Structure 1
């Protein structure tokens, strides 16, 4: 699957296979991170499956992935949400941030222009694909912030940035 390479301002500059983008030192490319809220303000986290090529078995946001070159971020995020967790929700882009992280276990690198996409889940229970998701949990954002400080090694390196942007924009999904 190709990913869209971007420049330092997030403008598309080309494409390459996803595996190439994640080889050291990492090529800056477009990604998305979905974070769903429930009616009480909790967020849905997933524990990444053991077979993931980057950061396996760490807790992360609801789901994440890469849009194809030229594909709408929210459209790609909606598809990924269904594939990984069997869920559907109205999604809105909340913001973007850039991060770089090395997975010392696999030798792969994340260097992403990450679009944070949020939504509210009003109905339905997650039906995780075991090839993608080892577990899931609903967590209050304030408790998650404390856990990120107390035990950062249990969480994906991008989760803090996703939570910060999603929290600031959570009013976009309130009813």
Structure 2
């Protein structure tokens, strides 16, 4: 992650998600961490598949672990879907797609490799695209992309949890299959 992004401001929130202040990305993720607004985007494709992103090696938190399609932080006062749409373009080269909030996941996780801490009020957003949709991942953000059935992703988290970002199971728990097995 670029040093510039670490200087961006995030919105500190209380347990109900109400704004209570601001901090830089770097300060909010320094131990013991500060609860702040974030977003996690899940991209799904027909057939119950989700797009997983292997985070780039230069990430300051949980590098080289598999996570959801895109994560980030809105600036204080910025709409979550607006911030997520921008990050999808920056990270994946994805043109704007409709995003729907499907829940909030609040979590705390410390990265044993970097000592950084995630304490996030995470808005989980869902977008639907075709699996053959053209994506142009930024190598400074993304090491690898992989479409996988939801069940396989959950099984992988259960059997190899250290391969995955610690928030992924909670974010995926917001997805629901319909009677045809689609997300």
Q: Do the structures match in fold with TM over 0.5?
A: yes
Give the TM-score normalised by structure 2: 0.90
Match of 1:19 among 10, 26, 31: 26
Superposed, 1:4-43 pairs within 5 Å as 4-43=11-50
User: By percentage of residues, which structure has more helix?
Assistant: 1
Match of 1:151 among 143, 154, 160: 160
Using the TM superposition, give the Cα deviation of residue 41 of structure 1 relative to its aligned residue in structure 2, in angstroms.
Answer: 1.8
Give the TM-score normalised by structure 1: 0.94
Match of 1:163 among 151, 172, 175: 172
Q: 1:2 matched to which residue of 2?
A: 9
Aligned with 1:162: secondary structure?
helix
Give distance in 1, aligned partners of 2:93 and 2:30: 30
Over the aligned positions, Cα root-mean-square deviation in angstroms equals 1.6
Query: Residues 11 and 19 of structure 2 are in contact (CA less than 8 Å); yes or no, is this contact kept in structure 1?
Result: yes
Superposed, 1:42-121 pairs within 5 Å as 42-88=49-95, 89-121=97-129
Give distance in 1, aligned partners of 2:78 and 2:49: 29
1:48-79: CA deviations, max 9, x gaps? Answer: 00000000000000000000001110111011
Q: 2:3 matched to which residue of 1?
A: none
Query: Residues 118 and 170 of structure 1 are in contact (CA less than 8 Å); yes or no, is this contact kept in structure 2?
Result: no
Query: Residues 94 and 169 of structure 1 are in contact (CA less than 8 Å); yes or no, is this contact kept in structure 2?
Result: no
Q: 2:145 matched to which residue of 1?
A: 136
Using the TM superposition, give the Cα deviation of residue 170 of structure 1 relative to its aligned residue in structure 2, in angstroms.
Answer: 7.5
Give distance in 2, aligned partners of 1:87 and 1:169: 24
Give distance in 2, aligned partners of 1:27 and 1:75: 23
User: Tell me, which stretches of 5 or more residues in structure 1 are unaligned?
Assistant: none
Aligned with 1:119: secondary structure?
strand
Query: Residues 33 and 61 of structure 1 are in contact (CA less than 8 Å); yes or no, is this contact kept in structure 2?
Result: yes
Give distance in 1, aligned partners of 2:177 and 2:89: 22
User: Tell me, which stretches of 5 or more residues in structure 2 are unaligned?
Assistant: 1-7
Q: 1:125 matched to which residue of 2?
A: 134
Using the TM superposition, give the Cα deviation of residue 168 of structure 1 relative to its aligned residue in structure 2, in angstroms.
Answer: 2.7
Aligned with 1:80: secondary structure?
helix
